[in-house]
Amino acid sequence: MTLFWLLGAALAAGVLALLLRPLLRNRSEPRVSRRDANVSIHRDQLRELDADLRAGLIAQADYERARRELEARALEDASHDAPQEAPRAARGGRRAAWAIGAGIPLLALGLYLAVGNPAAFNPAADPHAVTAQQLEGMVERLAAKLRDSPEDVEGWRLLGRSYAVLGRFAESAEAYAKAAARSPNDAQLLVDFADALAMARGQRLDGEPEKLIARALELDPENLKGLALAGTAAYARKDYRKAAAFWEKMLPLVPPDSEDARAIRANVAEARSLAGAAPAKGGVQGVVTLSPKVKAQAGAEDTVFIFARAVEGPPMPLAVKRVRVRDLPAAFQLDDSMAMAPGMNVSAHKRVVVVARVSRSGSPAAQPGDLQGTSAPVANDAQGVSVTIDSVVR
Domain ranges of the chain: 100-115+133-237, 281-392
CA 221 vs CA 92, 183, 243, 320: distances in Å: 21, 18, 15, 32
Per-residue pLDDT at 287 exceeds 70: yes
84 has a pLDDT exceeding 80: no
Q: Which of 49-53, 67-71, 224-228 has the highest mean pLDDT?
A: 224-228
Whether 263 contacts 250, CB under 8 Å: no
Q: Mean pLDDT over residues 187-204, rounded?
A: 91
The better pLDDT of the pair 230, 125 is held by 230
Give pLDDT, residue 286.
Answer: 92
Q: What is the dihedral of CA 62, 66, 69, 70, to 10 degrees?
A: -160
| pLDDT given for residue 223 in this prediction | 94
Q: Average the pLDDT over 165-182 and give the result.
A: 90
Residue 206 and residue 196: Cα distance in Å, rounded? 13
| Max Cα–Cα distance, the chain, nearest Å | 87
Q: Rounded CA gap, 352 and 357, in Å? A: 16
pLDDT at 354: 96
In this predicted structure, what is the pLDDT of residue 282? 64
Distance CA 157, CA 175 (A): 7
In CATH terms, 281-392 corresponds, of 2.60.40, 1.20.1630, 2.30.110, 3.30.200, to 2.60.40
Computed on alpha carbons and rounded to an integer, the radius of gyration of the chain in Å comes to 26
Q: Residue 205, SS3?
A: coil
Q: Would strands 371-374 and 351-359 be described as parallel, antiparallel, or unpaired?
A: antiparallel
For 103-155, write each residue's pLDDT tens digit: 545 445 455 445 455 544 444 444 444 444 677 788 888 888 888 888 888 98
Using DSSP's 3-state secondary structure scheme, residue 371 falls into strand
Task: Please determine whether the domains at 100-115+133-237 and 281-392 fall in the same fold group of CATH.
Answer: no
Question: Percent of the chain at pLDDT above 90?
Answer: 35
pLDDT on residue 225 = 93
Residue 21 is predicted with a pLDDT of: 46
* Global pTM value: 0.43
**Residue 276 scores a pLDDT above 70:** yes
Confidence (pLDDT) at 152: 86
Least trusted range by pLDDT, from 39-53, 79-93, 363-377: 79-93
CATH of domain 100-115+133-237: 1.25.40.10
Query: Which is more confident, 386 or 106?
Result: 386
For 332-366, how does the pLDDT look when each residue is reduced to its tens digit (9 = 90+)? 999 887 876 666 788 888 999 999 999 988 887 88
CA 82 to each of CA 21, 34, 116: distance values in angstroms, whole numbers, following the listed order? 18, 9, 43
